[in-house]
Chain A
Amino acid sequence: MRTLARRLALVCAIFALQNGLLARAAEISVSGERCAKTVRVVAHAADLATLLAALASSLDFDVSFKAEHHRVVNVDTAGDPEDVVASIVNDENTSRVLALDAGCNNRMRLAKLWILPARGREGAASQTAIAPPDRDVQARASSSYDGNYLLITTLPKEERR
């Protein structure tokens, strides 16, 4: 009985320790607001989407996270808000809309940020391929050249089939 209690205590301790670490990992601090010229960001083992959501909330921009991964970010930086955001998403496939904000002395600031799926879907395979053209149709065109213009006319559609 005592052994079982010890084991339970050990499991609880490990669980608590893990929770503590996770709580520590989830630590995100953003100091800055909508028109701020500088922002300070401190994050440890933070999920990128969560960190960007925190930044978007503080700096008042929209973020759309469409990437399929959930990268973990460690960052401790300060500076121009657009530069800070750019450094955090440097490895991502992103798009930004910068907009003139009359409420911030007409400063151009980040209005929307998309984190897109990674580039490189080009390599995916397909069963469908483009077939070569039908040469029968080509053989039934006529053309004439008067020295200035070459006119080529094919047969009407109903006669092509």
Chain B
Amino acid sequence: MNAQRSHGALRQSAVVLFVSACCLTLSAFGGNGEKKQADDAPLTVPKATCGPGDHPETALQGQVPADLRATGFKGFNCNLQLVGQSRGDGANWQATEFRQRHGSRIEHVCAYHGTAATTANRTHLGVPVVDITDPATPTPTAYLTTTSMLDPWESLKVNERRQLLAADNGRNAAGGPYIDIYDLSGDCRFPQLLASAPIGTGADGGPLAPILGHEGSWAPDGLTYYGGDIRTGGGQYYAVDVTDPTEPRLITTWKPGIASVHGMSISDDGNRGYFVSKTPSGTTGPSLTDPAALPNNGLIIADLSEVQSRQANPQITIISALLWKDGSFAQMTIPIRIDGKPYLIFVDEGGAGGLSSATQLQNACAAGLPPFPMARIVDISDETHPQVVSKLMLEVHDPANCAKVIPDLVGLSSFTYGSHYCSVDNKKKATTLACGYFNSGIRVFDIRDPVRPKEIAYYNPAGTTTASPGSNHLSFGQWRPGGPDWCSAQVLLDADRGMLWSTCQDNGLLTLKFTNGVWPFPQSKTPPGEQN
């Protein structure tokens, strides 16, 4: 074994702030990270055209104005109608699904979503398993209560190839080193526990390293599960060998060295990681007005080939990073192809100023930057020069509308109109993007032209008048009776049925049907496991 490698490289990274100090060349040419926007491309996404019977938004796109909140928000819908609901104890950050096949026939569609770690007034703890085979009658069939499932935070993910459900121990950002894995292959309505075990203990057969769960995602082959730990040492990513799903084993940890960490996605061959560089917790990021203050929030493309091939002491190296100031608290990514060309869906969780405290909102507006986060589409056809081609900016995000939006926010103070998690219809041939935009609800976009995305539908559920005890909207002290919900989870599209489902934190699981013929597009398909 090469001694230098063994001592030198496990948390391999290009620590680029350090690099930046050494090598930065401030270039004056226009836009090294953003392709020149087409002349006819609007700043905000064109609004959906609603049909008869819809309840369209009455103010700015994405906005729930204070007067509607004061009287109890009755909800907005445009080209989406509610079909079924399973509110249960509410939901928190994540939703995922598994479609059980019997030959070519889909026998069961199983939905899984997180709930908060809170125990007061709960009917059931843990991850509800909901049979949504009949979307009109979503029916809980089981509750998963192992350590990580009591609050999987942003790590609850299904691997289609191996028919496994996994989560790490997020637990309200105060979890531990556990990873839990369930087998879905027998009957997805009754997942079978394979492992609930700590990693990084040395006893798992891997290296010794402290791990605290938070984010997580599978490599598509289902042999590696990656985690994002925002707490340990300012943030670290880690890779877990799950070749034997009953004995998960830590492979390595990795600090990108730019800022902190959060979500990630992995290429089909497992050799590329699309990680985020997240604004460090407890900070608001670099100055928005000082041009010498460099951005540290954005995308990191990393070479994972040594992890994928299980080399000893694997090195993870940064291929490129693209960082910006018009978003913060980077959340997650999805590698996709549109007409054969590779892109990345990138989603921030914080606006330019941060996670949307009053001061942060004001700072963003004062700098002429979006106060709320949004999704964006990044061209990664040259992985050494990723370029943003469009932003899924709603009117409510437009800094030009700050004067109409910020004073109206009275009573709302966290996340508000920001993005959180998105999905596409088909990663290999994407046509449609669907996202949870917190208080702006579930938003669906046509991305067939990635430079000019268009909104086609939205559903923002009515405010609940009673609290949901398993919701982080409640535990964060942000729930208001009759106020808009936090829609923060993945949105799972189903082209065959012209439907989607997701969770909003107060309303729980919602199944929705597209109306007025807006979706699916003729080329839209939703193969299992290809949504995010």
Residues of A within 8 A of B (CB): 64, 93-100, 108, 111-112, 114, 116, 119, 121-135, 137-139, 141-154, 157, 160
Contact = CB atoms under 8 A, between A and B. Distances in A.
Contacts of B8: 131-134
A144 B26 contact: yes
A128 B26 CA distance: 41
A119 B176 CA distance: 11
B203 interface: yes
B392 to A, nearest CB: 17
A114 B193 contact: yes
Contact of A143 (B20, B190, B386): B20
A122 B177 contact: yes
Contacts of A119: 147, 198
Contact of B143 (A97, A143, A145, A150): A97
Given A133-B11, A133-B15, A146 B321 contact: no
Contacts of B208: 125-126, 128-130
Given A134-B9, A151-B32, A97 B142 contact: yes
Contacts, number: 202
A11 B32 CA distance: 92
B31 interface: yes
Contacts of B140: 100, 108
Contact of A121 (B28, B203, B298, B317): B203
B9 A131 contact: yes
A97 B190 contact: yes
B324 A149 contact: yes
Nearest to A146: B32
B325 A148 contact: yes
B190 A146 contact: no
Nearest to A116: B196
Contacts of B142: 97-100, 111
Nearest to B197: A121
Contacts of A148: 31, 33-34, 324-326
B192 A146 contact: no
* Chain B interface residue number, banded: 35 or more
6 contacts: A100-B140, A112-B193, A127-B202, A133-B11, A141-B23, A148-B324
Given A97-B142, A133-B15, A153 B201 contact: no
B2 to A, nearest CB: 10
B32 A130 contact: no
B1 interface: no
Contacts of A95: 144-146, 149, 193, 196
Nearest to B204: A121
Contacts of A114: 146, 193, 196
A127 B206 CA distance: 10
A123 B202 CA distance: 8
Nearest to B5: A134
Contacts of B6: 131
A42 B193 CA distance: 29
Given A99-B189, A149-B322, 15 more contacts: A121-B198, A131-B6, A131-B10, A137-B12, A137-B317, A141-B16, A142-B25, A146-B32, A146-B33, A147-B291, A148-B324, A150-B33, A150-B321, A150-B324, A153-B319
B15 A150 contact: no
A139 B26 contact: no
B295 interface: yes
B432 interface: no
B22 interface: yes
A149 B388 contact: yes
Interface in B318-373: 318-326
B23 A145 contact: no
B325 A144 contact: no
B481 interface: no
Contacts of A139: 19, 22-23
Given A121-B201, A133-B8, A145-B24, A151 B322 contact: yes
Interface stretch (B57-65, B217-225, B249-257): B249-257
A152 B303 CA distance: 14
A122 to B, nearest CB: 5
Interface string B109-150: 000000000000000100000000000000111111111010
A151 B321 contact: yes
A94 B149 CA distance: 12
A112 B252 CA distance: 34
Contacts of A157: 303, 317
Interface in B19-56: 19-20, 22-34
Contacts of A145: 24, 26-27, 32, 294-295
A145 B17 CA distance: 13
B385 interface: yes
A131 B209 CA distance: 10
B13 interface: yes
A64 B182 CA distance: 14
Contact of B295 (A111, A130, A149): A149
